């Protein structure tokens, strides 16, 4: 499945580094990592020199996949570079095919979009339905009917603001920044 050498430069105190390690382990991806803060003296300096040669900012996490350098917490970009497809990738493709012909597009910030899609899948596992990841679900399908994605508020939100409440679904104008990308107010009554 995987042929590219993967090396993660990390810190033991970095939650993003830990999340990337956990993802690679859960997907059974062979990789090496080095925690810079566990090295001393010359070993640490050598590692920082090595890191600076691929990432002049010397920031964590930095991951080297083959010849490609990815800095920061970019789970989707890492998966795509490695060539791994998961349930969230399939959901993305399925929902894209259904919604784009209706004029609803995914937010072009792929990391945000995939985080939101993972939230939908988490809610599906918890409740049996994909409730909005940005709202608290009750666990009662009937009570939550209005927030099952796409929620009942998507159409008016995208029409008025160019994006739904969580900015998973947006208009073409919103993605191209032809309209302001502003927070969308909550339309759902607090009584739900």
- Give every CB contact of residue 149 below 8 A, 6+ residues apart in sequence: 120, 130, 131, 132, 133, 168
- What pLDDT was estimated at residue 191? 55
Measured torsion, CA atoms of residues 80, 82, 83, 85, in degrees rounded to the nearest 10: -70
Distance CA 149, CA 121 (A): 11
Whether residue 146 is preceded by a cis peptide bond, meaning omega within 30 degrees of 0, is no
List Cα–Cα distances, 84 to 23, 94, 115, in angstroms. Answer: 11, 17, 16
Look-up: residue for tokens 């580094």? 17
pLDDT at 4: 86
What is the average pLDDT score of the chain?
94
63 - beta bridge partners? 8, 70
Query: Is residue 16 exposed (0-12), middle (13-18) or buried (19+ Cβ within 10 Å)?
Result: middle
- Look up the pTM and report it: 0.75
Q: Which helix (H) or strand (E) holds 34?
A: strand 32-35
Q: Which residues in the chain come in under a pLDDT of 50?
A: 1
- Give the pLDDT score at 3: 76
């Amino acid at each position: 499945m995987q042929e590219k050498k993967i090396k993660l430069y990390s810190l033991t105190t970095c939650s993003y580094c830990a999340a990337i390690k956990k993802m690679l382990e859960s997907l059974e991806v062979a990789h090496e990592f080095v925690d810079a803060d566990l090295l001393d003296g010359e070993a640490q300096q050598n590692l920082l020199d090595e890191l600076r040669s691929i990432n002049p900012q010397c920031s964590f996490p930095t991951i080297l996949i083959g010849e490609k350098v990815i800095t920061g917490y970019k789970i989707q970009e890492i998966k795509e570079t490695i060539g791994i497809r998961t349930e969230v990738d399939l959901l993305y493709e399925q929902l894209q095919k259904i919604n784009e012909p209706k004029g609803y597009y995914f937010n072009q910030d792929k990391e945000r979009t995939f985080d939101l899609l993972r939230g939908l899948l988490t809610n599906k596992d918890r409740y049996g339905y994909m409730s909005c990841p940005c709202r608290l679900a009750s666990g009662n399908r009937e009570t939550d009917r209005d927030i099952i994605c796409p929620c009942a508020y998507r159409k008016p939100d995208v029409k008025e603001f160019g994006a739904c409440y969580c900015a998973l679904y947006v208009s073409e104008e919103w993605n191209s920044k032809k309209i302001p990308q502003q927070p969308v107010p909550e339309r759902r009554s607090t009584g739900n």
